[in-house]
Amino acid sequence: MNKMYLKLAELRSPLLITGETGTGKSYLTRKIHLISSYKNEKYIEVNLATISENLLESELFGHVKGAFTNATGDRKGYCELVGKGTLFLDEVAELSLQAQKKLLLLLEEKVYVPVGSCHRKRFVGRIIAATNRNLELMVENGTFRKDLYYRLMVFNHCLRPVRENEELLRELVLGIFKEYCDLLGKTNLIFENECLEYLLKYDWPGNIREIRNCIEYLVYFSEHVAGMQNLPEQIRKQEYSLNKTHVYRQTGKNPLNYREALDMFEEQYLNYTLRYYSGKVNMTAREIAMSKSTLISKVKKYGINIWEIKAESNNNANRLLKNAS
């Protein structure tokens, strides 16, 4: 067991987990809860990005009867329901500035006020927050409170991308492969060595989430041997790894100049991320922390065909549905 995780498990102060999309922030949070001395208490996970602004306070803090229309009785919020357990607030960077102020009160004073009430209640649980966004940059842009940023950064654990940990990557690929073989009743399925080595050299910009999606697809479409031909098309088509970009020309060994190498990497990176998010420009821009206008400008610069990517994504989805029926 990682000693760092054992220390984090007993921490009762707020903990912030950061890292790229799919690095396993929710997985780590559950792991921390289960190895802590509070493992028998409740664990509640809340994705803040999915809760509308007008319902957020009621969801987190609860409300009293008559607090608003349709409030026909008192309702407990997550802060009360979790008790002495762990409350995981995912996507904390998506909170509005007003909501951030109320979260700061909860973190600083361990109290909250149900909607419509005048009485404070004490919070006795532990809060773990997570984000894939650059909070420091958001503070500079005025979209994240500086006081909340410094409060959350007291205990910050940054998860490394899986491509930077070869031992973890092998463990994940083989473990998830076995998991889906058991789940889909294919316990005799052989993992072709060429396919395994290819996946271990792949850069996985989507991290754990992308690995799970890929392995599920691989196992589902394999009969006796899980080989290269059974991998998702977007994985097989990725000719160059994202952090090992070729800096030599196809026609010889003359190295590219620095600007050409950067452009090559950027084009491959944007091509991959747009395919990963099915050609959805808004989602891609948000997930890679790039403005929509900048992304559109770069798409035009490199001649990336968004409509072709969307069509390919739809074809893959339809094929999956057809095979599943």
**CATH of residue 216:** 1.10.8.60
Q: Is 244 helix (H, G, I), strand (E, B) or coil?
A: coil
| Residue type present at position 252 | G
32-62 pLDDT, tens per residue?
A: 999 999 999 999 999 998 888 888 889 999 9
> Which of residues 239, 260, 284 is at a domain's end?
239
pLDDT in the model for residue 271: 85
* Angstrom distances, CA of residue 239 to CA of 117, 141, 201, 268: 59, 37, 12, 9
**Is 0.85 surpassed by the pTM of this model?**
no
Rounded CA separation 210/21 (Å)? 9
Question: How many structural domains is the chain composed of?
Answer: 3
Domain identity same for 74 and 20: yes
Residue 123, beta-bridge partner list:
none
What is the C-alpha separation between 171 and 157, in angstroms, rounded? 21
Q: What confidence score (pLDDT) does residue 182 get?
A: 95
Q: 210 vs 163, which has greater pLDDT?
A: 210
| Tokens coding 245 | 């970009």
Contacts of 112 (CB under 8 A, 6+ apart): 60, 61, 77, 79, 102, 105, 106, 120, 121, 123
Judge if 306 and 283 occupy the same domain.
Answer: yes
Amino acid letter, residue 186: K
259/216 same-domain check: no
Domain that holds residue 200: 165-239
Query: Looking at 159, 177, 204, which one is the last position of a domain?
Result: 159
CA 31 to chain centre: 16
Q: Which of 206, 239, 272 is the last residue of a domain?
A: 239
* Residue 157: strand pairing partners: 17
Q: Tens digits of per-residue pLDDT, 110-165?
A: 999 999 998 999 999 999 999 999 999 999 999 999 999 999 999 999 988 888 87
